[in-house]
Each structure stands twice: as structure tokens, then as C-alpha cells.
Amino acid sequence: MILLIALIILVVIFFIKGIQIVQQQEVMIIERLGKFDRILDSGFHYIFPFLEVPRTIAWKEVTKGPDGGFYSYYLQKNRIDLRESVYDFPRQNVITKDNVSIAINALIYFQIMDPKSAVYQIQNLPEAIEKLTQTTLRNIIGELDLDETLVSRDTINAKLRTILDEASNKWGVKVNRVELQDIIPPTDIQSSMEKQMKAERDRRAAILEAEGLKKSAILKAEGEKESQINKAEGQKQAAILVAEGLAQARIKQAEAEAAAIQMTIDAIKDNGQPDKYLIAVRYLETLKQMVEGKDNKVVYMPYEATGILSSVDGIKQMLDANK
């Protein structure tokens, strides 16, 4: 009876020990008598104890402590996570093409596509990816100057991802993305870069100020030019109007004189000597203009002054005849 109970207990233990429950997005490598047998997907499975055992995998984990430092540790596990994993590498020093030592760290997003290759083709997959990333990153940065390194993150990421994906393909791993987190130059280099940036900003400010002054001077000159043109145009129009006014005034004056002369002719035409009258009047007007001056002195007298006097006498006679 006791032997039977012991046998039943052993059977139960044997059965329970063979039960394996694999979670979603996980797989388990099963070996029979030390040789690969099959891969268990997510769900309920049963294996034969002692004959079949899950393959133990060495795995390196890296965590970031409260002080900001990175701490790595090794563990043994018998399940492989098929989800995309993020590996944060500790900061490392690399040397650029122009011999500047910079501190740089990266993030790698990778996913296991072939669990069998990830277990049997490499001893410790995370550590292998880390070392491969570090050496590849040194090679890439060593081909670039400091300035190129600081402005070529996307190029470095793409090149690093391509190289890692090709190298890790035989491990059954797909590298989906690589991101450089920090690129930290030495303190003296940072100071020089800040001075250079300040000088560049000052130069751009000076250029913008000079361009502004140039445009301002151009606009001012154009404004003065347009002002002078408008002023000249105004003076031209004013001169034209003055000339037109003077011309019209002289025309009106001439018309008035003509009308006055005509009226005079009509008034004295019966006496038959209107021409003598007009000549005498013109002589008198000319004589008046000659004697008008500052001291009202006659400068000279016409040679035929007697003709003027006779004309005046003729006018007197005509006026007496009309009475």
C-alpha cells in the first residue's frame, strides 16, 4: 500500500514537472537528451521530464541606477522574449577623425526573429550586440570630424543600423532602430564652440544691420529722387500756368488796346487825321516812360521833339474841332 502511494506521488510529480505554460510572445527551446528537439510557442505544453529539458540561456541585463550610472548583471533564463527589446548602452569615449575625444551613448531597438539561431549561434546575445555596437560606433565616428559628428546623427544612426543588422542577421536578430542619445565633447571644445556660435551670431547680426541700413539708404534716396521729380514737375506746371496767364493777360491787354484804338479812330475819323493822333499819343507815352525815374530827371530828349509838339498841337486842334 505504501509503495503504491509512493508510486502515485512520483507519477503526479512527474506529470506536474512536465507541464510547461508559455506566455504570449515567448518561446521555449526544448532539447531531448542534450540535442535540439523543438520550439514551444505560447500556450500549454507537456514535455517528458529527464528526457526533455528547456534550454537555459545566458542573458545580460543593463539597468540605470538612481545615480545615473549603468549597472549590468547576468541571469539564466529558459524563455525567449520575441517582443522588440530596447538596449541602453553605457556611455563610452570615442575619437573623431580630428582627434577629439567625445562621450557618446546609444539606444538599440532589436527583435529576435529566429529563436534557435539566437540561442545556438551566439553565447550571450545582448552582450554580443553591445560589443558589436561599440566597435562599429568607434569605426563610424573615427571617419568623421567633430563638426560632422554633431550634425550627422541621422546619417550615423542609419549607417550603424545597417551594419548591425547585417552582422546580427546570422544570430536571428533584426535591428529595427538605432538612436544616438548624447554626444558630449570635452569642456574646452564646448567653450570654443560656444564662442564660435556667438561670433557667428554677431556676424549675422552685423550683416542684417548692414543690409537694413543699405535698404534704408536706398529707400531714402528713392524718396528724395521722387520728391525732387515731383517738385520739378510742380515748378514746371506752375511756370506753364504763369506763362499761360501772362500770355492771356497780354492778349487781353492787346485786345483792350485794339478796342480803345478802334474807338478812338471811330471818334476822330471824321477829321481825317487819326494816324497823327495815334502817333502823337505814342510819343507822349514814350516820353512819360523816359522821364519816370528816381529823381524825375529827363536823361535825353528825342531828336525830333518838335514833331511831338506839333502832334500835340494837332490833337488840340482836332479836339477843338469836335466841340
CA distance 210 to 94: 43
For helices 274-291 and 305-322, what crossing angle results, to 10°? 130
The answer to whether residues 141 and 102 touch, using CB atoms and an 8 Å cutoff, is yes
pTM for the whole thing? 0.56
- Share in percent of the chain as helix, strand, coil (round to 5): 60, 25, 20
Q: What pLDDT score was predicted for residue 28?
A: 92
The three cell numbers of residue 68 are: 545615473
CA distance 180 to 152: 10
The three cell numbers of residue 145 are: 570630424
The three cell numbers of residue 11 are: 507519477
CA distance 91 to 97: 19
The answer to whether residues 183 and 102 touch, using CB atoms and an 8 Å cutoff, is yes
One pLDDT digit (tens) per residue for the chain, 323 residues: 787 788 888 878 878 888 888 899 899 999 998 888 999 998 898 888 888 889 888 887 777 667 766 677 778 888 888 898 888 877 888 888 888 888 888 888 989 999 999 888 888 888 888 888 888 888 888 888 888 888 888 888 888 888 888 888 889 899 888 888 888 887 777 777 777 778 888 888 889 888 888 898 898 888 888 888 888 888 888 888 888 888 888 888 888 877 777 776 676 655 555 666 666 666 666 666 665 654 555 555 554 555 555 555 555 555 555 55
Q: What pLDDT score was predicted for residue 303?
A: 46
Residue 125: is it exposed, middle or buried by C-beta count within 10 angstroms (0-12/13-18/19+)? buried
The answer to whether residues 80 and 29 touch, using CB atoms and an 8 Å cutoff, is yes
